[in-house]
Chain A
Amino acid sequence: MLYAILCYHSEDIVGSWTKEEDDAVMARLAVVQEGLAKNGRLGPVVRLLPTTAATTLRKDHEPPLVLDGPFAETKEQLLGFYVVNCASLDDALESARELASANPGGSYEIRPVALFNPGVAMT
């Protein structure tokens, strides 16, 4: 079963990391990801730019309304996500725990995937 691991954290806090701190977190996460990839369980890995770079299209208007900024103003923001293949929720939680120990702070939302279309390979 595929699970999305959605990464929520305060972008203020993540944004105040120095380059060295950021690099160190990314390096620790890369180790966990390598382990998952070796077992054929790692799908797409996405890190998003800050919410200030976001644009929202409200579809409940006709024509749809274009708004600057993220969809929701929240204390913690969606900063990225993983797709991993896990046998069970326990497995998914275990992977999320490993990622969490590499990158503490914030929350992961573990969400089973209903449909997965890998699209085309992009570089």
Chain B
Amino acid sequence: MTDLAWIDSALSSARPQAVAALVRYFRDLDIAEEAFQEACLKALRHWQKNGPPRDPAAWLIFVGRNSAIDAVRRRGKERALPDEATISDLDDAETAVAEQIDNADYRDDILRLLFVCCPPDLPATQQIALALRVVSGLSVKQIARAFLVGESAMEQRITRAKSRIAAAGVPFEAPGAVERAERLAAVAAMIYLIFNEGYSASGNEIDARAPLCNEAIRLARLLLRLFPAEPEIMGLLALMLLQRARAPARFDADGGIILLEDQDRRLWSRPMIAEGLALVDKAMRHQRPGPYQVQAAIAALHDRAEQPADTDWVEIDLLYAVLERLQPSPVVTLNRSVAVAKTKGPAAALALIEPLEQRLSGYFHFFGVKGALLMKLGRAAEARIAFDQAIALASTAAEATHIRVHLDRLMKDDPPDRKAPASR
């Protein structure tokens, strides 16, 4: 790896901590970002010449803070601070900064930085774009590509989000225990949104959006290092790893979706599965179940099965029942019906989802599942109606294709004319 590549990874891994500390000093997102940019430029010059500093984040915070103060003074026509060439050689000064950013401090700094990106009234897509720009340091161009929009549209979206945050005011006081837990939950939800933006991609969008999954995993690892004993953060990271592990097997050469039971499981990433399973084990030990842990446990049961037939559907059904209690939602019940169909048969599954029809009348997955169950029961005419409704509700071509794949498969496995001669 060249020096420049090393510096690049060091800058990007130091970014959350450094920007978070600068936001604490300046109480302003824009000034903090500018200060960090300035420090990065100086790092490129100095680190190449003098080698890496002992603590890159502390160096960037120190130099960034001084550049920003310097800029403010220059604007005020006051005496400038000494050049960073002198500053950066003062090892004592860096050490003092490093000591200031002890664990407890920067833990809250980074949590604050993530938290300001996800106020509840900010639309999800803006939250994600802002976090990717500010915390992860992706360029506007990279983010625009991941969201499949133009660069100027993304620039506007981020600027709008920033001004809304500036108007709302950044919470700078150190959070209490309850507040910290609330912030953690909001941030976890935002990280999972980032992941799903990447994970729900299909077709020719996959390459552009896959980095979002990696970024979400990186942020969750960061969060878990800051809060090592939080079982839900373990669950979140495990859930994302256990899903991401299947990525190499999820699409065919044309970018079409390959259903879980048809995937070539040898392509699944073993190290990611190992890490995910280890985290599920660690989380379970705390005996404080939560939605991410339960979903991770469900993903783990899929990933543990070497063949689709080895899948422990009884356990999956039980876990969905737990999830329904923790996070009651018709969508969870709908997902559970897939497990129920495997353990108790399609009639039981259909009985489970029929009461949901009114609440899920605009949800294409509902009609996809309903159609599949009806097909299995040999009620081909009703199944086709459900599939048509699903395709009408599909919001992307990929979703529609997904249903057609489903339909084709069932047509092949259970030809309707054999199963339902009465309807002909």
- By a beta-carbon cutoff of 8 Å, the part of chain A in contact with chain B is 10, 12-13, 15-17, 21, 25, 49-53, 55, 66-69, 73, 75, 104-105
Known: A50-B275, A53-B275, A105-B1. A16 touches B9 (CB 8 A): yes
Separation of A67 and B9 alpha carbons in the complex (Å):
30
Q: A16-B9, A16-B13, A53-B275 are in contact. List 12 more A-B contacts (CB 8 A).
A: A12-B13, A17-B9, A21-B1, A49-B271, A50-B275, A52-B228, A52-B234, A66-B285, A68-B228, A69-B225, A69-B228, A75-B54
Residues of B within 8 A of A21 (CB): 1, 5
Chain B's interface: helix, strand, loop or mixed, by majority? helix
- The residues of B with any CB-CB pair to A shorter than 8 Å are 1, 5-6, 9-10, 12-14, 54-55, 103, 218, 221-222, 224-225, 228-229, 234, 237, 271, 274-275, 278-279, 282, 285
Query: For B274, what are the chain A residues with a Cβ–Cβ distance below 8 Å?
Result: 49
What is the distance, in angstroms, from B114's C-beta to the closest C-beta of chain A?
Answer: 16
Verify A68–B103 contact, CB threshold 8 A. no
A-B contact count (CB 8 A): 56
CA distance in complex: A112, B158 (Å): 55
Are A52 and B218 within 8 A (Cβ)?
no
Question: How far, in whole Å, are A105 and B285 apart by their CA atoms in the complex?
Answer: 36
Given contacts A66-B285, A69-B228, contact A13 B275 (CB under 8 A): no
A51 touches B225 (CB 8 A): yes
Chain B residues with Cβ below 8 Å from A75 are 54-55
| Structural contact, B225 and A52, CB atoms closer than 8 A | yes
Of B1, B12, B14, B237, the contact of A52 (CB 8 Å cutoff) = B237
Chain A residue nearest to B54 in the complex (CB): A75
Q: How distant is the Cα of A17 from the Cα of B1 in the complex, in angstroms? A: 11
- A13→B10 CA distance, assembly (Å): 6
- Min distance, Cβ A69 to any Cβ of chain B, angstroms: 4
Q: Separation in Å of the A22 CB from the closest CB of chain B?
A: 10
Residue of B nearest to A50 (CB): B221
